[in-house]
Structure 1
Amino acid sequence: MRALLIKHDHLTFAGPVGERLTELGWDLDERLVVSAEDHHAPGVQFDFPDPLDYGLIVPMGSPWSVNDPGVASWVTPELAMLGKAHAAGVPVLGVCFGGQALAAALGGAVERAPRPELGWVDVETDDPSLVAPGPWFQFHYDRWRLPPGAVEIARTAVGSQAFVIGRSMGLQFHPEITPFELECWLGHGGDAHMRAAGVDPDAVLEEVRRTEADSARRTRALVDAFLTRVAAGDR
């Protein structure tokens, strides 16, 4: 079983999402879209592989917006790739930017949220056995509008947090978060973003460290439920 894991930048890691997939026998093919050298000029050309060569597609987060014209050179083909995967019945698990990209690829849209969500947030869930109430880690400024036919699973006051459509699922939060990943984000502008929003990045990082085991446990359960109930077409 092969899974395509799309890392849009060098500061994103598969974390416990990738660990759980590997434990379950998935062979992860990780592709990096924007290298560290191109981080400040991310309008690169990138050739996405054929999604039909995989049993699962996992587009991860990104510091850029789906709507950012500066990254349209690779966002546009990525949306086409996700649409092709979904149409062929290849499951997609979209994480944050990846969830927004999935929504946009299937006829929804991405827009600026009324305020950012930064740090740990509980969600209102209609199906806690699929998407638990959390808390889940958030770091986003945009939100999606659901594509036609999607079923919303979870939400906050800011926006939709999870949806299912066919064999695919979009998540607004970051189940893959680890202390190392957050340290990378904070060291590359995230610290300033949090402080500007009135959030203490040091306190958030300490909480991520303190709750790492619990967070990984929730993520493993989420991955398992996605694979058995959504990707398998049994929901």
Structure 2
Amino acid sequence: MSLRIHALFHTDYADLSFIKQWARAHNHPITVSRSYDNDNLPTLDSFDWLIVMGGPMSVHDEDKYSWLIKEKRLIKQAVDAGKTVIGICLGAQIIAHCLGAEVKPSAVKEIGWLPMQLTEAGQAHPLLQDLPKDFTVFHWHGEGFDCPKGASIIAETQAWANQGFIYQTPEHKARGTWVLAWQCHFEVTKESLPKMVSNGNAAIQSGLKDYPETVQAPDEILALGDKYIEENNARLATMFNQIASSANK
């Protein structure tokens, strides 16, 4: 069954990347809104999945980016309606915020390919059964979220305990759908990673001074990408396949 996927973009360089490849392989059409370019947001009945992408701003920057207000309203409506909602980095933080959890600066910044572990809840969750307990994935964030009420924290790093969560309303349970949020970037590809590194070089250089243990230099990020990208794209495909197959037809 074809899924109608809509993505909310917050910057030109945080692209769908592997998500687009997965969607095309399964004949799922994708539409996109760029609120920062004054695009109209979709209506609830026009999509099955809502994917909320990353970006350099904070969930609290409504004074600078007033379009965040309308985005948050749409995301909350999609969650309440039992839609599949997936958040990546800033997108995960926005979803957590919409669910009433506090979003705040973390103790350190994490930029680069860093180890992460599934929690006991993550290891036991049916959507994540094919993920290893320990793996390395790409991070780029300086804020984090508390666990939303009713959600399960599914992963952690040494620097920040809450790296992802899964959530269901009663409507989601009835539909066999989920809300899935990750701080990290499973979706980066060899084509998209250099764009992120180039556009975010100032943040990297600043992070190297203040957080040398959790921020990597551009050359190291790109070199490690050659090692880890393919397996992380495969993990994202596995999760998406599980979500797609779990919905009640």
Shorter chain as denominator, the TM-score bin is 0.7 to 0.9
State the secondary structure of the residue aligned to 1:93.
strand
Letter of the aligned partner of 1:67 in structure 2?
A: H
Pairing of 1:107-122 with structure 2 (within 5 A): 107-122=100-115
- The answer for the alignment partner of 2:59 in structure 1 is 66
Which digits, 9 at most, give the CA deviation of each residue in 1:130-151, with x for residues without a partner? 6543311100000011221111
Q: Does 1:29 align with 2:31?
A: yes
Q: How does 1:218-233 map to 2 (within 5 A)?
A: 218-229=235-246, 232=247
- Answering whether residue 72 of structure 2 is matched by residue 79 of structure 1, we say yes
Q: How does 1:1-235 map to 2 (within 5 A)?
A: 1-35=3-37, 45=38, 47-125=40-118, 126-127=122-123, 128-129=128-129, 132=132, 133-157=134-158, 158-166=160-168, 167-190=178-201, 191-196=204-209, 197-198=211-212, 199-229=216-246, 232=247
The TM-score with structure 1 as length reference comes to 0.86
- Give unmatched runs, 5+ long, in structure 2: 169-177
Contact 1:131–1:153 (8 Å) recurs in 2 = no
- Sequence identity (%): 22
Q: Deviations over 1:71-126 (max 9, x none)?
A: 44011111110100011111101111111111111111211000011111222213
3-state secondary structure, aligned to 1:148: coil
Offset at residue 70 of structure 1 (A): 4.4
Q: TM-score, with normalisation over the residues of structure 2?
A: 0.81
Aligned length: 223
Inter-CA distance 210–122: structure 2 relative to 1 (3 Å threshold): closer
Deviation at 1:165, TM superposition (A): 0.9
Q: What is the alpha-carbon distance in structure 2 between the residues aligned to residue 183 and residue 194 of structure 1? A: 18
Distance 1:121 1:152 in 2: 18
Runs ≥4 in structure 1, deviation > 4 angstroms?
none
Q: Distance in 1 between matches of 2:101 and 2:82?
A: 18
Aligned partners of 1:130 and 1:225 also within 8 Å: no
Aligned CA RMSD, in angstroms, stands at 2.2
Alpha-carbon distance, 1:217 to partner: 1.7
Letter paired with 2:96: A
Cα distance change on mapping 1:8 and 1:200 into 2, 3 Å = same
Shift of 1:52: 2.8
Unaligned 5+ segments in structure 1 are 36-44
Bigger mean CA deviation after superposition, 196-205 or 10-19: 196-205
Contact kept, 8 Å, 1:8 with 1:60, in 2: the verdict is yes
